[in-house]
Amino acid sequence: MALTSIFNKSLARRDFLAVLVLVANAFSWYFPLYVFFENTLRGFQIDPTTLLASFGVHYAAVIGFAVAGASLAKRFRSRDLLLCLWMIIGAVVSALLVMVETKEITYIWLMPFFLGGALGLGFPSCLAYFGDFSTGESRGRLGGIVWFASGICMLMLGLVAGLLSFTVSVLVFAVWRGVGAVLFLLLKPDQIRKKDMVDVSYKSILIDKSFLLYLISWTMFCLINFLEIPITNIHFGTDIAYLVPIAEFGIGGVTALIWGWVADSIGRKRVIIFGFLMLGIGYAVLGLFPYNILSWYIYIILDGGAWGIFALMFYLVIWAELAGNRVKEKYYLTGVLPFLTSSYLLILFPPYAKLVAISAAFSLASFFLFLAVLPLLYAPETLSEKEIEKRRLQKYLEDVKKVKMKHEK
């Protein structure tokens, strides 16, 4: 009962609404915009080397600005000021993307760079904002709500972008980002970050065994996922390949909402392992029946569900709990780096994807996902045993109460 009270109280707080707007707006702005932007550039029939290089610039900008933003966060008088500036920059860059439609090579180079900078500059602080607000007892549930809202918004904006022209779509994204900035400015609390937090170096983070075990599993998943996407795109076709990630955003949002609640009861590690199991089954089904349309639908559902779990855990929950009472920007940046760097495989690998037999690709994916689970077996549970036992006792007392009421009737 006390736990439910704490959870409901968190939801009612104005600062949670600020966190919800900040994080959900960031994810739902960038991911659909990037998918739409990438597909648009591919449609221009640009020289493959130029396309490869321009997106290399994009990812380099994301990482470079993210590192700079993580360092700048402590230099700003208020982290809220950095985040507001970041969102405004995102809105401006989104509007500037209309220049890409001229197909001039200058803009083909500049716009991916600007878009990368617009994401990277405040991304670590955005995620750390959630980590500083949430606590271990409700972080999974609150994260589930945030990712559910993100997934629904990504689904809607992705569908809108697919129906409108390029110019109108990027302007919609610009307005969406701007609205997010205004709402965050109105809702932001006076202070979320604790004053006694300790700053750490990247080296100290990477030599932490617990952090490294989770990072290895996450990195293996990212590599497998982004190597498999070009293969699935070849067999889906261009139109369906665009809709698949959009549909998975919606499935992942619902999954995160459910498993965030479960993660606060049984722990994070078990939920992550279940996510790997779901994805492994999905790839195994594709490997056995690669040309059966039903197997593709099963894969999309399982892949979307697994992505919901991984996004919840590896974007929002795990790194905050491993950081503890330390400044979280560097933890989040290091934690999301495998995703940011592996994403480049979507540009790099497609020319070679045609050479890989589809059944062999998915069978190998299942095998390597099994290997990815092994580091998790040695990783510690990040939710304290005290909290897990507290939930078990609470559930036991509720069950006893139900049985008692049943017999009294």
Location of structure tokens 């960031």: 26
Residue 39 covered by a domain:
yes
pLDDT at residue 4 is higher than 50: no
Q: Does any domain span residue 194?
A: no
**Is residue 305 within 8 Å of residue 255, measured between CB atoms?**
yes
Q: Answer yes or no: are the C-beta atoms of 146 and 334 closer than 8 Å.
A: no
Give the rounded distance of the alpha carbon of 73 from its chain centre.
21
State the residue for tokens 């750490």: 200
Q: Which residues of 207-225 are buried (b: 16+ CB within 10 A; e: fewer)?
A: ebeebebbbbbbbbbbbbb
| pLDDT for res 7 | 47
Separation between Cα atoms, residue 236 and residue 238, nearest integer Å: 7
5 domain residue, yes or no: no
Chain position carrying tokens 């990815």: 372
Whether 3 is in a domain gets the answer no
When pLDDT is cut at 50, 70 and 90, the band that residue 395 belongs to is: low
Q: Considering the domain boundaries, does residue 1 fall inside one?
A: no
Q: What's the structural domain count of the chain?
A: 1
Residue 198: φ, ψ to 5°: -100, 135
Give the mean pLDDT of 203-216.
94
Q: What is the mean pLDDT of residues 4-11?
A: 48
Q: Which domain holds residue 47?
A: 16-189+201-408
The encoded tokens of residue 40 equal 């648009």
User: What is the tens place of the pLDDT at every residue in 264-283?
Assistant: 988 899 999 999 999 888 88
Mapped onto helix, strand or coil, the DSSP state of residue 379 is coil
- In a domain? residue 184: yes
How does DSSP assign 287-331, residue by residue? HH-TT-HHHHHHHHHHHHHHHHHHHIIIIIIHHHHHHTTB--HHH
Whole-number Å distance between alpha carbons of 369 and 374: 9
User: Residue 43's pLDDT band (boundaries 50, 70, 90)?
Assistant: confident
Can you give the pLDDT at residue 240?
60
pLDDT digits (tens, 9 = 90+) for 346-393: 888 877 777 777 777 777 888 888 889 999 999 999 886 665 555 566
The whole-angstrom separation of Cα 139 and Cα 254 is: 16
Q: Is residue 334 in a domain?
A: yes
Q: What is the pTM of this model?
A: 0.88
Domain CATH for 336 = 1.20.1250.20
Instruction: Take residue 199 and report the two structure tokens written for it.
Output: 């700053």
What's the chain's average pLDDT? 84
Averaged pLDDT for residues 7-11: 50
Give the pLDDT of residue 3. Answer: 44
What is the structure's pLDDT at 245?
Answer: 72
Identify the DSSP state of 199: P
Residues 6+ apart with CB under 8 A from 103: 44
Q: How confident is the model at residue 221 (pLDDT cuts 50, 70, 90)?
A: very high
* Residue 11, in any domain of the structure: no
Residue 97 has pLDDT above 50, yes or no: yes
